[in-house]
Amino acid sequence: MILVEISDSSESKTSLICVDNLRGVSEFSLNFLNDRVKVRASCNGLLCCSSIPDKGVFYVCNPVTREYRLLPKSRERHVTRFYPDGEATLVGLACDSAHQKFNVVLAGYHRMFGHRPDGSFICLVFDSELNKWRKFVSFQDDHFTHMNKNQVVFVNIALHWLTASSTYILVLDLSCDVWRKMQLPYNLIYGTGNRIYLLDLDGCLSVIKISEAWMNIWVLKDYWKDEWCMVDKVSLRCIRGMVPGIFPISQTGECVFLATHKQILVYHRKTQIWKEMYSVKYRSTLPLWFSAHAYRSTMFSCN
């Protein structure tokens, strides 16, 4: 299933809905946080949210149990800020359900107040067991689109982001706080009109390529040997008019959820049937794909 933020331009307000393949569409509330928040990341049933009125305030919550945890503020000095807009470039949530613990990652380019950015890429990692942040600095030269930032995948004690160039995957190994690069499928053909996305597929890293007529899906079968395997090739003929503005958000072995500006679609792998799950009936200020996240319910405790 997926979570989607709906923005109503006529009333200048936002709301959340949950779109489930079996249960359909339902309202989704985070009111128990007693704050206006934005969902920044989703992992194994937990959400990482940032406060809209109070910059730098983060929560991790479980919407099913309505439990939440207010994260302590990091000890970063106020004269140090993320560049260029004061917010982290990358926000990641890593939930280890086997050991009932999680990490929150805030990473981005920094600059000292009154100075130009020097290329340093600072990473803050919150440890739920220790209830504190740790920090390390590296040098990166990567750029990320909005969808790259939204689509972070937690697999094998590491967080994964696709870069804007779509030439490799940037990996943060949380076991040793090291950034590294992972290769994409060797037979992934680039070209005009081709778009690449990074998703989870039943606990494995997956890459989806959308072209004018096809949606090709790869899965990383052997993580340590970088062995990719194409598992699906889907014709986009019956939704051809939507293809330029359609984005994959979440997938399972049974279906793929995709979002356009005003619609949520689901593709059923077994029957090869497309179905519209939701459509905006009024004027929306932001497209649905802009704030859509993969989600699944769980009893995982965040405390």
Decide if 295 contacts 42 (C-beta within 8 A): yes
Nearest-angstrom CA–CA distance, 16 and 3: 7
Domain that holds residue 140: 2-291
pLDDT at position 33: 93
Residue 297 domain-assigned (yes or no): no
User: Residues near 200 by Cβ (< 8 Å), separated by ≥ 6?
Assistant: 153, 154, 155, 206, 250, 251, 294
Residue 222 domain-assigned (yes or no): yes
pLDDT at position 271: 94
Residue 220 domain-assigned (yes or no): yes
Residue 9 domain-assigned (yes or no): yes
pLDDT at position 117: 64
Q: How many domains does the chain have?
A: 1
Neighbours of 102 (CB within 10 A): 24
The CATH number for 220's domain is 2.120.10
Q: What is the pLDDT of residues 110-138, one digit of tens each?
A: 766 666 666 788 899 999 999 999 999 88
Q: What is the pLDDT of residues 165-210, one digit of tens each?
A: 888 999 999 999 999 999 998 877 666 668 999 999 999 999 999 9
Residue 87 in this model has a pLDDT that exceeds 90: no
Residue 296 domain-assigned (yes or no): no
Nearest-angstrom CA–CA distance, 190 and 230: 16
Residue 300 domain-assigned (yes or no): no
Q: What is the pLDDT of residues 229-262, one digit of tens each?
A: 999 999 999 898 899 899 999 999 999 999 998 8
- Amino acid identity, residue 230? M
- Model-level pTM? 0.91
pLDDT at position 78: 42
Helix (H) or strand (E) holding 150: helix 146-150
- Residues of the chain above pLDDT 70, percent: 88
Residue 303 domain-assigned (yes or no): no
The pLDDT-based confidence of 299 (bands split at 50, 70, 90) is confident
Tokens of 106: 């805030």
Residue 299 domain-assigned (yes or no): no
